[in-house]
Amino acid sequence: MSGLRRTDGMRKKESEDIFENVVSMRTVLLGGIAIVAVFAAVLFITSQPKPVGNAPAGLLISISNGASYARSADVFLKLSAVGAKDCAYSNDNVAWTAWEPFTDNKQWVLPSSEGLKTVYYKCRSASGVIAGTVSDTILFDATSPTIDVTAPVSGAVYPAPAVTLTFTPKD
């Protein structure tokens, strides 16, 4: 086994996503005879080509025309993006809709539990370049407020002119 030498090398070609792996082995002087064996292999690993072009610009999303709260989970999204071919939407920035053709308005359904909700929006250009995600928030509160009147007692008669009204608002 003396004289067996193995060299491994991995290098990346700068102009493309191709990696070249070369392995060579050389045997020198085995029983007085010089024998040289070389093995070379090239491994190509390519990623998807990077899109050429610009990402859409000016992405904006507004839920229910900028309202601070919504009484229904069904809301209206006002959207804008310059240079967008198609867009995707999400309630959690993890699970996204399929890409849809760009539109400047869209009906959307918020998750059914009450609380602060965020809708996320992203678009891509015709060349496939995706712009950064933007979002808007709204407080979803489907429960109407109520008032508990504690004074005057229901059905009681009070002399005029002054009556004190005591109540507790609830949401």
pLDDT in tens, the chain (171 residues): 445 444 445 444 444 444 445 455 555 555 666 555 555 555 555 566 666 789 999 999 999 999 999 999 999 999 999 999 999 999 999 999 999 999 999 999 999 999 999 999 999 999 999 999 999 999 999 988 888 777 677 777 777 777 777 777 776
% pLDDT > 90, the chain: 51
pLDDT at 56 (0 to 100): 96
Q: What are phi and psi of 28, to 5 degrees?
A: -120, 130
pLDDT at 164 (0 to 100): 74
Q: SS3 letters for the chain?
A: CCCEEEEEEEEECCCCCCEEEEEEEEECCECCECCCCCCCCCCCCCCCCCCCCCCCEEEEEEEHHHCCEECCCEEEEEEEEECCCEEEEECCCCCCCCCEECCCEEEEECCCCCEEEEEEEEEECCCCCECCCEEEEEEECCCCCEEEEEECCCCCCCCCCCCCCEEEEEC
Distance from C-alpha of 126 to C-alpha of 56, rounded to nearest angstrom: 9
Q: Which domains does the chain have, with CATH numbers?
A: 1-47 (no CATH), 58-140 (2.60.40.10)
Distance from C-alpha of 98 to C-alpha of 51, rounded to nearest angstrom: 19
Task: Name residue, tokens 């008032």.
Answer: 147
- 119 near 77, Cβ under 8 Å? yes
According to DSSP, the β-strands at 105-109 and 115-124 are: unpaired
